[in-house]
Amino acid sequence: MTKLGTTDLDVFPLCLGGNVFGWTADEDASFAVLDAYAAAGGNFIDSADVYSVFAPGNSGGESETIIGKWLAARGNRADIVIATKGGALPPNNGLSAKAIKAAAEGSLRRLGVESIDLYYAHRDDDATPVEETVAAYDELVRAGKVRYVAASNFTPQRLTESLAFADAEGLARYVALQPHYNLVERAGFEPDYVALLRAQNVATVPYFALAKGFLTGKYRPGTDVDSPRAEGAKAYLNERGLRVLAALDEVAAAHESTVAAVSLAWLAAQPTVAAPIASARNTEQLAGLIGMAELRLTEAELAALATASD
């Protein structure tokens, strides 16, 4: 376990993404993945009110509902750190005080919990002043409905403004950032965010940690993968991507591990990263990920992977 930034939340080094629950994993499959994750020592689950609106017939909230049913069925709420996001599901989209309050109430109801451990603003809303947004999140914390607040997809400027206002007014500040960051997506994060997050003691919980599945190693030249994310993953199948896969293959073989676990272990070892997020639609996929928790890469291996991805 590791502390999530400055909070008292002890979290497993792999955060289980709930975006597939109610989408590519039905309720039974989702329960099986959640059971296997918990059995391996996992306790950190990420969702959002907008999951899984992508699936035909869905309207959003399906992932949270499945997680809520699982928590109730297993009676393990006290053992699980629940993170979810609000602000992207109509009609409660945006970060106005009204939208934040309504979105949080909806998530609490679907999850069947009295308090959300880590509540993210899913994406920034530049039409709403940061002062209104930060104050609204602080109200949720003071009411006991949320333990800690965090941000996802915020620009460095808006994150800085939000933190400064929270500090000046003594309000709850964002304790974590959820950005798009992985071994093949570094340029949009490392130059602009790492120094800021370090200085502000804000933890990083990256999404798309496996680059839409590319960093599992299953996408190779001439292969055809049945996945709704296949086209996105294949975008990385270029000279640089093949170089990264070759480096991952070598490290994975040295540790008798999987390419996915090595990819996640590299990410977990980066500055400010508390736990990367990865999802699994079945227990077989989860088995290829969970080993990252015990995997310790050498400095030479970390450097070799970084060099391959430059």
* Tokens at 256, concatenated: 């008798």
Q: In what order do the strands lie in the sheet with 81-86?
A: 203-204, 174-178, 146-152, 116-121, 81-86, 44-46, 15-17, 277-278
Q: Cβ distance 292 to 251 under 8 Å?
A: no
Alpha helices by DSSP H, listed for 145-238, are: 156-169, 190-200, 230-234
Residue holding tokens 């591990």? Answer: 257
Give the number of other CB atoms < 10 A from CB of residue 127. Answer: 8
Q: Which of 37, 51, 137, 174 is catalytic?
A: 51
The answer to whether 120 is a known catalytic residue is no
CA distances from 252 to 181, 182, 256, 261, 285 (A): 21, 17, 6, 8, 16
Residue holding tokens 């890469």? Answer: 297
- Active site (catalytic) residues: 51
